[in-house]
């Protein structure tokens, strides 16, 4: 009788311990799985965040205008960099007070639609001060001669978008059917050896604009 009681007690004790052991094993496996998934998710999130930041920084660096005269561009409105990026080039230039003489010349030559409808062009845009370097009598004569004015203005337009890297050392065909030369590096570039880029890499809806401090004159 005593033997039977002892056996029954051992059996009941084993039955009580087994569920506890199974429960402990199950909990341990679940925690391990959760931990592995959490670590994997955390690493993936960090990788995606790093990639996103790198991509964003790269884009900003490429698109940023540069040059001493860029500080005079309005921070907001149609004449700002963001505003100009939304309009075709002749319209964008008309919103920049520093380019009013150029805009007057473009209108006199009848080139507004030509420039606005062109695709993927580069415009070297002389400032008002650049035009002021030309004697008034000479400038007035040019402004009154549509053929000559058209020749000069189309000499400032290249039929492709040029990046700052392109300007380091290059020769480019203009709409006037001759070439302009560019050289420089970093944020310092000249066109035809004398006209300095004072605000470059300005984007409009259809063009890249490099604002220059002198008017370019075709040789022929």
Q: What is the CATH number of the domain that holds 137?
A: 2.30.180.10
Domain count, the chain: 2
pLDDT at 50 over 90: no
Q: Is 186 in contact with 68 (CB distance < 8 Å)?
A: no
Based on the fold, state whether residues 117 and 10 are members of the same structural domain. no
Q: Same domain, yes or no, for 41 and 142?
A: no
Shared domain check, 143 and 73 = yes
Residues 208 and 114 reside in one and the same domain? yes
Whether residues 132 and 203 fall in one domain: yes
In 3D space, the residue among 142, 129, 161 whose CA is nearest the CA of residue 218 turns out to be: 142
The whole-angstrom separation of Cα 206 and Cα 120 is 5
User: What's the alpha-carbon Rg for the chain, to the nearest Å?
Assistant: 35
Q: Are residues 171 and 107 in the same domain?
A: yes
Residues 6+ apart with CB under 8 A from 207: 88, 89, 115, 118, 120, 121, 122, 123, 161
Which stretch of DSSP H or E encloses residue 198? strand 195-203
pTM metric for this prediction: 0.72
Domain that holds residue 9: 1-63
pLDDT of residue 58: 36
Q: pLDDT tens for residues 202-219?
A: 999 999 999 999 999 998
Neighbours of 164 (CB within 10 A): 20
| Encoded tokens for 211 | 């604002």
The answer, yes or no, to whether residue 21 has pLDDT greater than 90, is no
Instruction: Choose one of 43, 63, 83: the last residue of a domain.
Output: 63
Q: Are residues 112 and 24 part of one domain?
A: no
Has residue 129 been placed in a domain?
yes
Same domain? 93 vs 188: yes
**pLDDT tens, position by position, 109-167:** 999 999 999 999 999 999 999 999 999 999 999 999 999 999 999 999 999 999 999 99
């Amino acid at each position: 009788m005593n033997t039977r009681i002892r056996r029954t007690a051992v059996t009941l004790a084993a039955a009580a311990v087994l569920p506890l052991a199974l429960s402990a094993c199950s909990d341990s496996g679940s925690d391990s799985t959760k931990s592995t998934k959490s670590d994997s998710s955390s690493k993936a999130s960090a990788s995606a965040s790093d990639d996103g930041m790198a991509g964003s920084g790269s884009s900003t660096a490429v698109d940023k205008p540069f040059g001493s005269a860029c500080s005079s561009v309005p921070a907001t409105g149609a004449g700002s960099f963001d505003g100009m990026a939304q309009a075709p080039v002749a319209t964008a230039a008309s919103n920049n007070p520093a380019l009013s003489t150029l805009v007057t010349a473009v209108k006199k030559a009848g080139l507004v639609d030509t420039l606005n409808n062109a695709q993927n062009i580069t415009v070297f845009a002389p400032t008002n001060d650049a035009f002021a370097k030309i004697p008034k009598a000479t400038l007035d004569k040019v402004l009154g001669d549509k053929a000559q004015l058209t020749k000069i203005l189309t000499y400032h337009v290249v039929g492709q978008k040029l990046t700052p890297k392109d300007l380091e050392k290059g020769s480019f065909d203009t709409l006037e059917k001759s070439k302009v030369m560019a050289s420089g590096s970093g944020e310092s570039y000249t066109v035809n050896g004398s006209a300095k880029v004072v605000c470059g890499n300005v984007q409009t809806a259809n063009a890249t604009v490099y604002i220059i401090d002198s008017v370019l004159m075709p040789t022929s």
